Structure 1
Amino acid sequence: MELFAGYGTAAVIAALLAAFGSAFVRGLTGFGMAILLVPILALALAPVDAVLLANFLSVFIGLTELRRLLRGAERSAWIIITLVAVTTPLGLYALTVTSPDIARLVIAVIALSAFLAILLPRRGGLDHHPATTTGVGVLSGLMTGYAGMPGPPVVPYYVGRDIPREVAKASMMLIFTCASSVGLAGGAAIGVLDWSLVPLAALLFPAVLLGNRLGDKASGRIEDRTWRISVGVVLGGAAVGALWKAFG
């Protein structure tokens, strides 16, 4: 039976569970919603629809926290956001000319790359060269367009440095909210945005809102070292799951 955007009951239920779980991880770690959600959605939805649906949900939840994110984010976040705005349409266009099987494999490899990057040694809080920030912004934009995942370059950039956890979380969340907005605008501009995804996004949003709030409460109860370990575990699990589903 079809419910929303031409997708059946089983697909919608799976999307609800994935939305709740991925939003909990977002609240806990400051990222992870797209990395976890897009590979799962892409099993039932067309890859383009999976990416754009994740973008809708990211924008919705980001708007509920916008004041806190603007207050807590690092200045480098705005440089990355600007570069994301320029490069996201290029990644989205590449997705539209890629076969679904290849797109799913690339999305899985992107998830794996984030896990490998987080294993690199931590750097000092001031060690963010302009060239590094530029590279992160360009890669994040391309991955936003292609996979709905601005996180793989952004997460190691912030989590791998000795800066306060709340600064890292606010910076990442602000970038992801803006990146998702750009992704939706790019999709509309090149004619691949299916507006029938909006009611499906509205259906999933309460699960996202609840999961994010529960994750944020849990984050306030754990130590910084535990939080960083959680980041690595989430990235590793997402990478393994995405690769298994892609090859399976």
Structure 2
Amino acid sequence: MPDVILSVFQIEGVWYLILAALMAGVVRGFAGFGTAMVYLPVAGQVLGPFEALTTLVIMDLTGPLIHVPRALKDGHPGDVARLGLGALISVPLGVWVLSLVEPEVFRYGVSLVAIILLVLLIGGVRYRGELTRPMIFGTGALGGFLGGSVGLPGPPVIMLYMASALPPKTIRANNTLYLSLFDAILIIVLAVRGFLRLSAVTLGLVLILPYTLGNWIGARIFRPEAERMYRFAAYLIIAVSALHGLPLWD
């Protein structure tokens, strides 16, 4: 096993991935979302699509656990369960679609979905109506499909909640719980479909440390009264990562 871990550090670009995991953790810690939008555009330049997804889900299964107790208190677990049920139905379809496309298409998909979300959020799109149960379920299903196909389960859910009138701590908590639930679903689907690789799992385990550290830093600096500052910082980091990850720069 030590030899397997040591081999991880021989991967070209591994330190780039470690830095991306750290930054993704910081954003997730203070914003409650953004892990995939920060990490995947970078990982897609170093790893194949399924390897990138595997490292993401392995590190993301453990890093945000420190936020779960607070999220259960601040969030709406019932709504999160509906989001998770929708994702459970659609994740296998997304993974199937990913298995059909080229790695370059995956990279474009990751960056473009992240950029579209930013444009909508920065543009001030808002939903003022009631968040109905069918709407929440459908949003979870759309997130599950995007998560399985381009590794970005968060955008639809983030868009729904951040465009609502819910308080920041509730939005952050619901996003945290939903993304943790999605990770558990995705790892099971990848295992069943035979897409898990030992090297990618090991790399994901190595990335847990910088990612968890980033989560801790992000949680420590989070202050609800400074919501606008945190949103701006998250948007900026995601934008840089998404634009840098576009294959046209290769």
Distance verdict in 2 for CA 1:68–1:195, change over 3 Å: farther
Contact kept, 8 Å, 2:88 with 2:141, in 1: the verdict is: no
Corresponding residue number in structure 2 for 1:17:
19
Distance verdict in 2 for CA 1:46–1:4, change over 3 Å: farther
Contact kept, 8 Å, 2:85 with 2:137, in 1: the verdict is: no
Corresponding residue number in structure 2 for 1:214:
217
Quote how far apart the aligned CAs of 1:137 are. Answer: 1.1
Contact kept, 8 Å, 1:91 with 1:146, in 2: the verdict is: yes
State whether structure 2 residue 183 is matched by structure 1 residue 198.
no
Report matched runs for 1:1-248 at 5 Å.
8-74=10-76, 75-118=78-121, 119-124=123-128, 127-220=130-223, 223-243=226-246, 245-248=247-250
Q: Deviations over 1:152-207 (max 9, x none)?
A: 11111111222121111110011111111111100001111113323212211111
Contact kept, 8 Å, 1:39 with 1:104, in 2: the verdict is: yes
Distance verdict in 2 for CA 1:213–1:18, change over 3 Å: same
Contact kept, 8 Å, 2:42 with 2:241, in 1: the verdict is: no
Distance verdict in 2 for CA 1:27–1:6, change over 3 Å: closer
Identity, % of aligned pairs? Answer: 23
> For 1:233 and 1:114, how far apart are their aligned partners in 2?
13
> For 2:117 and 2:241, how far apart are their aligned partners in 1?
9
Q: State the TM-score, normalized to the length of structure 1.
A: 0.89
Structure 1, 8-17 or 163-172: larger mean CA deviation: 8-17
Aligned residue pairs total 245
3-state SS of 2:245 partner = helix
Output the amino acid matched with 1:164.
Answer: P
> For 1:141 and 1:42, how far apart are their aligned partners in 2?
19
Distance verdict in 2 for CA 1:146–1:247, change over 3 Å: farther
Quote how far apart the aligned CAs of 1:49 are. Answer: 0.6
> For 1:4 and 1:109, how far apart are their aligned partners in 2?
34
Quote how far apart the aligned CAs of 1:71 are. Answer: 2.4
Q: State the TM-score, normalized to the length of structure 2.
A: 0.88
> For 2:111 and 2:60, how far apart are their aligned partners in 1?
19
Structure 1, 92-101 or 128-137: larger mean CA deviation: 128-137
Output the amino acid matched with 1:89.
Answer: P
Output the amino acid matched with 1:50.
Answer: A
Output the amino acid matched with 1:45.
Answer: L
> For 1:62 and 1:31, how far apart are their aligned partners in 2?
10
Distance verdict in 2 for CA 1:76–1:246, change over 3 Å: farther
> For 2:223 and 2:6, how far apart are their aligned partners in 1?
36
> For 2:52 and 2:7, how far apart are their aligned partners in 1?
12
Distance verdict in 2 for CA 1:136–1:97, change over 3 Å: same
Output the amino acid matched with 1:51.
Answer: L
